[in-house]
Amino acid sequence: MNATYSNERGTRPDCAAGIRTLVIKVDRPAAPAPVGPAIICLEGARLNAVAAMLNSLDLDGRPQDNRIVVAMSGGVDSSVTAALLKAEGYDVVGVTLQLYDHGEATHRRGSCCAGQDIHDARLVAERMGIPHYVLDYESRFKEAVIDRFAESYVAGETPVPCVECNQAIKFRDLLDTARELGARALATGHYVASRRLPGGGAALFRAREEERDQSYFLFATTREQLDFLRFPLGDNTKAETRELARRFDLPVADKHDSQDICFVPTGRYTEVIERLLPGAAEPGDIVDLCGRVLGRHGGIIHFTVGQRRGLGIAAGEPLYVVRLDAAARRVVVGPREALATRRMRLRDVNWLGDGTIDDALAAGRLDVFVKVRSTRPPQPAWLARGPDGIVVDLVDGEEGVAPGQACVFYDAAEGQARVLGGGFIKSAASTVDVVAARDARVDSAATAARG
């Protein structure tokens, strides 16, 4: 396919020859649209500030000699990312992913990657005068993210679809497309920082603004991917980003942030699961920690670890979902203290620290700080290798830890700590389970001693 695009430097061959039908070119006016006063009036201190940011992406050569693909979701963050790089002189190409089309979702506040967002990304690209492409990834997204999300819930897990999307779509398929477009880097609007290491390569760090930090969702990024990725907003606050959007006169400056799970238009994820997997909501028993039946439920997909409301049973004390037994279709409930998790076994661990994870654990356990939910601060923990994989012991314990969630490692509890990697929780043992196992070992040893 010998498509062409037009920009302020004239018409030149597009590097998307290998994309074929995957790339859908968005119609653009013959002449670039006005880029707004914030770009054309870079005078005085503002001009000096932009000049100081030249080569901010740590690439060889002048900015104008480096093509950068920007993943444009249609929101304010990715739009500002594109505008900043354009103002610095980089050869910016905007790419938007069409991931789903649920009709209602395209008009729902807080949705992303749907029709309205594609339209907004196109408007921003036109305002800046940069080429813009829409890539149809609907089938790939359904297979790699939506279907796996449904299967995970049916298995009694609590999945994190944003991690799957970054891992399987944005930083793999989109990254490959960026290379085919001749880009030197793929830039996104994520609030996370990437910095070069003295010995080569890049490391991932938490964002400057703790409330906006998205490193939890990026732990599965590989070292090779980090070499190609750039995150220009990692040292920005959200307020600063919105102010930049206004200065660049972007039409999305005051657009609401995306919320919840992007492909669940109503916010009720069980409807999506039952539509994809009919019969997924099979009834079963609600039991206490001793296995006594307390009631019935309409499917474990309606429950998650830590849940208190909506159990549909009467008890003399507050009860919480402690774990889900998918094989037996049982919801296990107990008192709040039974939620305290002390040990986790992980799967699919990705190590981003120095050397290999075996090097890091050569002397035994490693002191780290971990997050088991994106909204919780890092907690002190020990990382070690167990008989069947990586094990994390939480110093103070955590409540509501569920299989399927991510466990992300950091080298510090506060500030822009370095991301050391992470994995998905395969199983979690509560304080009650750990104590019971310890007591059982003690009893067994005592019995053996009595002989």
Q: Could you give the residue numbers annotated as active site?
A: 165, 262
- Greatest alpha-carbon span in the chain: 91
Query: 70, 64 in Cβ contact below 8 A?
Result: no
> Using alpha carbons only, how large is the chain's radius of gyration in Å?
25
How many residues would you count in the chain?
Answer: 451
The beta-carbon contacts of 317-323 under 8 Å, at least 24 apart in sequence, are 319/288, 322/289, 322/430, 323/156, 323/428
Q: Nearest Cα to 72, choosing from 95, 45, 105, 56?
A: 95
Which of 175-212 are b and which e, b meaning 16 or more Cβ less than 10 Å from the residue's Cβ? bebbbbbebbbbbbbbbbbbeeeeeeebbbbbbbbeeb
Terminal-residue alpha carbon distance, the chain: 80
Phi, psi of 240 (to 5 degrees): -65, -40
Query: 415, 395 in Cβ contact below 8 A?
Result: no
Any idea what DSSP says for residue 94?
E
Q: Can you tell me the distance from the alpha carbon of 405 to that of 374, in angstroms, rounded to the nearest whole number? A: 10
Helix (H, G, I), strand (E, B) or coil at 55: coil
CA distances from residue 365 to 345, 371, 384 in whole angstroms, order as listed: 14, 18, 5
Q: Can you tell me the distance from the alpha carbon of 284 to that of 391, in angstroms, rounded to the nearest whole number? A: 31
Which residue do the tokens 């005078």 mark? 43
The tokens of 26 are what? 């968005």
The tokens of 57 are what? 């992406």
Q: Which H or E run includes 80?
A: helix 76-88
Any idea what DSSP says for residue 211?
G
